[in-house]
């Protein structure tokens, strides 16, 4: 199954390529969260209410596909309720990983995605 979310806003401090971390929120995020988040809106054709995401599933951003190495136990419920998850690119999974985080396989040869307003984020559950 696939879910498609459109990027509506990108906060001033939302993308830190050195850190490899991106925070996602739905359109209901407050101003403080908007500054540090990528704001997404799920397509009505693929409503977030049915969202499922597990280890081995993928997201595609800016033509780059990333494989989830770890999906925290709060990701699905937070995504359904708030459109929220924290993405970690090119990072090994912490000893105590964040419950709302998705960690992607570290691949130093794969560039970080370039998040742009009006681009889509495609989540695919295999």
pLDDT (0 to 100) of residue 92: 80
Q: What's the pTM value of the predicted model, to 2 decimals?
A: 0.93
The whole-angstrom separation of Cα 84 and Cα 71 is: 13
End-to-end CA distance of the chain: 7
Whether 18 has a pLDDT exceeding 80, the answer reads: no
Mean pLDDT of the chain: 92
pLDDT (0 to 100) of residue 105: 82
pLDDT band for position 20 (50/70/90)?
confident
Nearest to 24 by CA among 69, 80, 96: 80
For the ranges 79-83, 92-96, 106-110, the one whose mean pLDDT is highest: 79-83
The whole-angstrom separation of Cα 109 and Cα 115 is: 18
pLDDT (0 to 100) of residue 107: 77
Interval 31-72: pLDDT, tens: 899 999 999 999 999 999 999 999 999 999 999 999 999 999
Domains and CATH numbers, the chain: 2-124 (2.40.33.40)
The whole-angstrom separation of Cα 41 and Cα 69 is: 24
Interval 101-114: pLDDT, tens: 999 987 777 788 89
Q: What is the length of the chain? A: 126
């Amino acid at each position: 199954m696939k879910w498609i979310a459109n990027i509506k806003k990108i906060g001033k401090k939302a993308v830190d390529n050195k850190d490899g971390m991106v925070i996602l929120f739905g359109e209901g995020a407050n101003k403080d969260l908007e500054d540090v988040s990528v704001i997404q809106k799920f397509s009505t054709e693929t409503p977030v209410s049915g969202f499922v995401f597990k280890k081995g599933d993928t997201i595609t951003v800016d033509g780059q596909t990333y494989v989830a190495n770890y999906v925290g136990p709060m990701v699905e419920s937070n995504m359904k309720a708030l459109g929220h998850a924290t993405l970690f690119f090119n990072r090994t999974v912490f000893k105590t990983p964040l419950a709302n985080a998705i960690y992607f396989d570290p691949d130093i040869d794969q560039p970080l995605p370039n998040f742009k307003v009006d681009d889509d984020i495609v989540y695919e559950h295999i």
